[in-house]
Structure formats: structure tokens, C-alpha cells
Structure 1
């Protein structure tokens, strides 16, 4: 018989969040229930309520953690040419959306009607687009009000392209999509300038 490992409360909470995020990658928010997590973790529902308060607290914690994971997973390299860094970051974004498709779609839909989800979604989106700008002018694009507006629109475009491609890639290769995403930002910024 395998012995159980006693975890600290923080370790247990992190373990439950990790499991919640893995489940969220394959399920919608509506399918991500306390019952499912308890069953998968082999624990009682009461323990989940102990760590997260209620179902909404659990759901919010999982979504926030998934958004943090997205931002971390798509961070561009610290060095290299700006366009190369963008290509790497866009490739990582595509990979993350592929691995977490159901949860990402659910977050996107939920953000339209739930203020908490909207806040999580908007914060993640801002983190993804804000890092394109650099205050020392060594970034990929200049930081001006017009360009920020263009980047905000491009982010919606990029998200739609990625979600459409993941749902049905057709004859477009992954490399073509990443090049299209990166190149379109440069073209839009050039046109705005």
C-alpha cells in the first residue's frame, strides 16, 4: 500500500489549483465543478470549500491561475531581435491555446457576462500586449496612443485567428499562422505610423 504524503495547507492549495487548471484546459467553466475536482483529487468536497470558500471562489482561483500560466508561458525571450522575440512569443501563445483550448474558449465567453472573469481576461490580455512596448525604445514598436489602439485591435484579431486555426487548421501550417500573426502587427504599426 502506498503511503500518503502529508502536505502543508499551501502545498495542498497549490496541488488543487494545479489539478483545477489541468481540468480547465479540457473542460468549460460550467463543467469544472467542485465535484469533478474532488473526485479527481480523491478528496472530499469540504476540503475544496475549506481552501476556496465556495464554487465561485474555486472557479476564480483556477481561472486566475490559468491566466497567470498563459502570461508566463508566452513571455518572449529576454534577448534577441524584437521581431524574433515576437515570433517566439506568438508561437508559445498558439501552443498554449492548443493545450488549453476548451478552458480558454470558456474564459473568453464568460468574460462577456461575468465581471470577475472579465477582469481576469482583461488583465491577462493587457499583460500580453503591454510587453510589446518598451520604455527604453528598444521594443518592437513605439509606445504611442495610436499604436496602443492598433495593438489592442490586433490582439483581438490574433486571438480570433488562433482560435479559428485551432478549431480547424485546414491547409494553413503552424509556421504560416505564426508568421501571419507577427507580420500583421508590424504591417498595422507601420500603417499607423
Structure 2
């Protein structure tokens, strides 16, 4: 189980962003180029109605636009992504309209809920006793489930979610180092905003 962010375009005018996969894994000790890519995904998706390429002069301006939108209660704090689940040869990515900020909804699975996993593809969760089954793509036309799936033992979920939180905490530290080198006057505010947006620091209570 890995936290991922959906990539924005690779054309970042403010810092170097290398071409990567569509969903960027958020690692506990990420390389600087991965931090830069994740920062661009967060900032570009989270700047509200600001046209970053047209209205913003530099990296500090881009981060300021993100921070201003983040402080606006009328702007959705949405960071497309979620939790990637892999078992054997089956990889299930978070679907469209899901956000990494929703990763803690997986805690409700421990109470027997079947949470929404996004659409296109339409991964679907099914509670099966001691196992949580995740189908890679529900057949919404035929109403049948015959495709690939991942089975997660319910008893393993607390440890998996703690590992996700450790990954996010490690990324937050790396983001701070990157921001102090790239946007030093905005570094602390950026880290605090990302921490708040992705609900990283609060304990899981498990």
C-alpha cells in the first residue's frame, strides 16, 4: 500500500520536473527530483483559479498562489491521488476524483465499511469476512465482477496504514529540505499547508 499523487503536466516553468509515471509514489526518503515532481503536482492542482503560467512570475509566486488558495475556505483542498494497492501482478491505482487527502478514510474499512475508490477505472471494495477484496475495475454494464482483484487481510490494515503515514512523514521532511533550497521564504508555510491538507501529522489512533 503506497500513497500516490496524480501527476500534473511535466511542463513546470518554475523548477525542473522530470517526466514520470501518471501516479507518483510518495516515498519515505524520496530523491530530490521526486520531491520536485510531487511539489509541482500539489502546487499546480492546488492553486485554485490562478493561471500559474500566465499570472505568476517565479517559484515563490507559484507557492504563494497555492498557499493563498489553501487558506481560502471557498476553494476545495483537493490533491488528486490516494493509496495504490499492489499484490502479485495486480496493481490498483486510485480512480479519478479521489484525493490523497482522503487516505484516512481507509480507517473506516476496519469498521466494516466499503469506501469509494474513485472512478475510471471503477475499483470497488468488498468486505469478505477477514479479507477486504478490491476489484480493479467493476463492470458497471454487466453488473459482474470477474476481473483482477487484490485481497487484503483486515488484520494487516492497521500496520499498512501506519506505514503509509510514515511514508508521508518522510516525504514532509524531504519537502522541507527541498523548499528551503527552492523557495526559502515560503518553506515553513508550504510544509505546514501540505501537512494540514494531507492530514499527515495527527496520529492514527490505532
Which has a greater percent of strand?
A: 2
TM-score normalized by the length of structure 2: 0.31
TM-score normalized by the length of structure 1: 0.32
